Amino acid sequence: MSAVKTYQVSADWFSDAEITLQVNHDVLTQELATEINQFWSDAADRLGQEDGDVVRAVIRLFGAQAIRYFMAEGGASFGPLETDRYWTDEVLKEQAEGWPDSDSLGILITAAEVPVVGYDDVTMVIA
């Protein structure tokens, strides 16, 4: 059985923004995931939401950070990519700490559909 699996992480609250991640479970081990999860606040909450599966918690956390990155960059629409680490490296560079480099992490962004809020997505009232 392959140690590489594909996951989709979605932000359902806004236009179904979605990131597709390829995860090598030989690299993103339980030990590494525990170290990453514990670095960030609310580690216990993430574990609870993933029924104690720290690897799933870290995959979801990385997906959330990638979606935030793409929203800040004006959105994204690409993929599928097979071996291009560019976007994974960009997200990790933005984080600056708490994550290993992409080779040591075992997560690769392979696709993204991340819209941003546009004029037609907002309303205005006089306050």
Q: What is the DSSP string of 20-45?
A: EEEEETTTS-HHHHHHHHHHSTTHHH
φ, ψ (nearest 5 deg) of residue 118: -115, 180
pLDDT-based confidence at residue 120 (cuts at 50, 70, 90): confident
Hey, where are the domains in the chain? Answer: 4-121
State the Cα–Cα distance between residues 32 and 47, nearest whole angstrom.
14
Q: Is the pLDDT of residue 1 over 60?
A: no
Q: Is the pLDDT of residue 93 over 60?
A: yes
More confident residue, 48 or 84: 48
Helix and strand numbers (H, E) in the chain are 5, 4
Half-sphere exposure of 110 (CA within 13 A, CB side): 17
Identify the pLDDT of residue 77.
93
